[in-house]
Structure 1
């Protein structure tokens, strides 16, 4: 019986060693999967950063171009308005001077409206 009991113990020990090996392999597999997942996540993050940076640069380029175009348009409109006002000034300058001189030179002696007579 001792041999049978010893054989049973050896079988149990062998099974325990086999189970320990299986557990160790499972732990190694889990660690390897975590490493792979981290490296894959890092790779995806870098790709996403690159993509978003490119989208941002495209957005900035697109909108800065519109700002330049808008600024050029506003400057052109302002220059046109200034030219128009200068032309109107030159056209009506003599009339304004005549009206001022007429108002200064022509004096009408009329009593003020609040004066009681």
Structure 2
């Protein structure tokens, strides 16, 4: 009976080794599948990025012209406004200086209203 038991034990050990080998192969297969999935996902992400970047560059190119046109229009408008302001300044500066001088040199000596009330 001991030969039969030792052969049974030997069979169990061999079955256990075979099962461990199968489990190890399954783990390796799972790890490989995960690596493949990550690689494929990275490729898809990169393709999506390139597509979106291309769309953005097209959008940017189509709107860049309108931006420079807007800048040109704003610059022209600013120049016109500056000319108007400069002309207005040149026309009225002498008159303003004269009015200021007239007010500054026109002195009426009189008591402050609070002082007048106190004296009354």
Could you say whether these structures have the same fold, taking a TM-score greater than 0.5 normalized by the shorter chain as the test? yes
Cα root mean square deviation, aligned = 3.4
Report whether the alignment pairs 1:50 with 2:43: yes
Report whether the alignment pairs 1:33 with 2:7: no
Give the 3-state SS of the residue equivalent to 2:7 in structure 1: helix
**TM-score if structure 1 supplies the norm length?**
0.65
Q: What is the aligned counterpart of 1:97 among 90, 98, 101? A: 90
The size of the alignment, in residue pairs, is 110
Provide Cα deviations, 1:25-52, integer angstroms capped at 9, x if missing partner.
0011011111111111111111122222
Q: How far apart are residue 11 of structure 1 and its match?
A: 1.4
Match of 2:4 in 1: 11
CA distance in 1, matches of 2:107, 2:99: 22
Unaligned runs of 5+ in 1: 1-7
CA distance in 1, matches of 2:41, 2:106: 83
Q: How far apart are residue 95 of structure 1 and its match?
A: 4.6
Match of 1:22 in 2: 15
Match of 1:78 in 2: 71
CA distance in 2, matches of 1:107, 1:21: 115
CA distance in 2, matches of 1:107, 1:40: 89
**TM-score if structure 2 supplies the norm length?**
0.64
CA distance in 1, matches of 2:38, 2:103: 90
